[in-house]
Amino acid sequence: MSALDQLSTMTTIVADTGDLSAIARLKPVDATTNPSLITKALIHPDNQAMLSDTMNRHQGDVDAVIDALTVQIGCDILALIDGRVSTEVDARLSYDTQATIDKALEFIDAYQKAGIDPERILIKMAATWQGIEAARYLESQGIHCNLTLLFGQHQAIACADAGVTLISPFVGRILDWQKSEQNRQNVPAADDMGVQSVKLIYQYYKQHGYKTQVMGASFRSVEQILALAGCDLLTISPDLIDELAHLDTNVTRQLSPDMVSTNAIGERLSLTETAFNQAYQEDKVTQALLPKGIDGFISAREELAQTLAAIRN
């Protein structure tokens, strides 16, 4: 068995792409997208007819067009997989709880009108305090959420307390920060702060019986991925999935509920907004990466908006 086949017996593999041809080829259980991936998918020649039709229907309203295209690509992805797709709320709303809720409800309504069961949709938003509170409400209404741009334990604790369905800790971005801060070119998995962060979150969740699932994301290498074998889910780019498919090595399970010590992590916590913000101020990694990640998603949406405006004109 390839490393990918072995990993698939331990972990749900999610394709981190909006490329329909890659999804059709890889046949993942779930798929996740973000504005950068949506942009790449929409500029593909095969999607130009859909692009023109959507722009005509919305009379060039760029925000409405982006939302409609996001749902359309989500529907196209769901036609190719058996599981769920993550659909991301506009990152400009990351610090606005009510606006995030409203946009999520719009997406769910659009999917339902397209004949998609809401159970197959994960509403994806940044793990700010406001985003987590929006997810708390949405989950109470039966709408499942994927909290992304997650770098700190305080974010993970608040997400679990809010009853979030899924979190996406960004392994690779934490490693990038670590290399820069420590002036290191290579960091083994045993010292990899991104890998260790996911392991700690996983252990905390399993020890305290949370239903929130952990989906490692933003990988830089197959070594990082295999260091988290057994994690609930792993979202992986097509290139790294292909590398795993051609890798002939024994994969050892690194995470499972049975491996969690009942005394490993400490007590179950519930954070107030004040405590959350204090933890944020004490967490250099999250301070560096969360705003940067939100800005990156906003920039990707702006790039898509500019592309659509150029086509319209």
DSSP line for 10-30:
TSEEEEE---HHHHHHH--SE
The 3-class SS string of 82-119 reads: CCCEEEECCHHHCCCHHHHHHHHHHHHHHHHHCCCCHH
124 catalytically annotated: yes
Query: What interhelical angle do 62-78 and 284-312 show, nearest 10?
Result: 100
> What burial class does residue 15 get, using C-beta atoms within 10 Å of its C-beta: 0-12 exposed, 13-18 middle, 19+ buried?
buried
SS3 290: helix
Question: If we measure between CA atoms, which residue out of 310, 263, 301, 312 comes closest to residue 126?
Answer: 301
Q: Which two tokens stand for residue 185?
A: 């070119």
Give the C-alpha separation, 47 to 31, whole Å: 19
Catalytic position from the list 27, 113, 124, 206: 124
Q: Which two tokens stand for residue 223?
A: 């070594």
Phi, psi of 205 (to 5 degrees): -65, -45
Active-site amino acid positions: 124
